[in-house]
Amino acid sequence: EVEVEPRKDNEAPKTQQLLLSDPNPHPHPHPNTRSDCLQAEMGRKKRKDGPKPWCWYCEREFDTEDILIQHQKARHFKCSVCHRRLFTASGLVVHCQSKHKIDIKEVPNSLPGRESTEIEICGMAGVPEEDLLNHRSSDRAETAEEKRARLEEEATYGAGDDIDEAAAAAEANAAAAVRH
């Protein structure tokens, strides 16, 4: 049994006394500084190693999945009539149909090829496995801006080896139109 002594009015609480007197108040040894541990105990989230969460609809990266979900609700799943924020594209479709009699065919503010309301995505949950793997491998190879441009080009000209041929044909058509 531990005896607890009443504290005097001018004394700091026991926990504060321990922190002030003991250079390492933690029972486990660790490489972090004392201030880092105190901040971590007080609510600061530790940074996880690995890929950052990213929005499947627009390729933007976020520090946490909570911030990603807030982004999706504000940017992709927000009703244009009453500004209600929903958790999924299908939730937005059902809301707009039942409350406003509006048919939503595409997810707002999404990249070409990513407009489908059929895919059930909330945060990182539901992102197609192929896109997760592609994002991880291309994450090191190209920036988000470069990827946006590539996805737009693929949506315009098609994917694969045909891109260069389609781009050349488009340039030739544009040049021919200028001549006439």
Higher pLDDT, 21 or 102: 102
Q: In degrees rounded to 5, what are phi and psi of residue 111?
A: -70, 155
Higher pLDDT, 99 or 147: 99
* Long-range pairs for 92-100: beta carbons < 8 A, 24 or more residues apart: 92/117, 93/117
Work out the number of other CB atoms within 10 angstroms of the CB of residue 123: 21
Calculate what percentage of the chain has a pLDDT beyond 90.
44
DSSP code of residue 161: T
Q: State the average pLDDT for the chain.
A: 76
CB 122 within 8 A of CB 72: yes
Q: How many helices (H) and strands (E) does the chain have?
A: 7, 0
Q: Residue 147 has what pLDDT? A: 73
CB 129 within 8 A of CB 137: no
CB 86 within 8 A of CB 33: no
Residue type, 72: Q
Half-sphere exposure of 105 (CA within 13 A, CB side): 0
Higher pLDDT, 163 or 115: 115
Q: In a 3-state reduction of DSSP, which class is residue 54? A: strand
Rounded to two decimals, the pTM is 0.54
CB 54 within 8 A of CB 138: no
Q: Which of 126, 121, 82, 123 is nearest to 101 (CA)?
A: 82
Residues in the chain: 180
Higher pLDDT, 177 or 41: 177
Higher pLDDT, 60 or 42: 60
